[in-house]
Amino acid sequence: QVRLVESGGGSVQAGGSLRLSCAVLTTYAYAYNTACMAWFRQAPGKEREAVATIDINGRTTYAASVKGRFTISRDNAKNTQYLQMNDPKPEDTAMYLCAADSVRPYCTGGFQATFYNRWGQGTQVTVSS
């Protein structure tokens, strides 16, 4: 079965950096390599929100709150996507989840959680002052 596994979370001081990884564990990873992928996050008591998306051409979109600080990327050879978090702030503290589609190559509508058919279990990121 298809599974997404996040890693790289942990505690970091404001102004530091952190890189999250999401591995696509399936023999059919090519389907996800040609589709939109994304990172979402959810803080306690808050709704799940989109952080960034990336399509098959490497085109990206970002939430206004992270633009200029976070960078999403993908390495299809490794069946992995990443979220580079630079200058993290305490308000970035949340559970970060990897999301993937298996059919749509572009990310129009990709800021909606219902767009995706596969989700990881999440990795916690805690940012301290």
What was the pLDDT predicted at 34?
Answer: 81
Structure-token match 């599974």, residue found: 3
Q: How far apart are CA 42 and CA 111, in angstroms?
A: 14
pLDDT tens digits, 5-54:
999 999 999 999 999 999 998 777 677 778 899 999 999 999 999 999 99
Cα–Cα dist 67/30, whole Å: 29
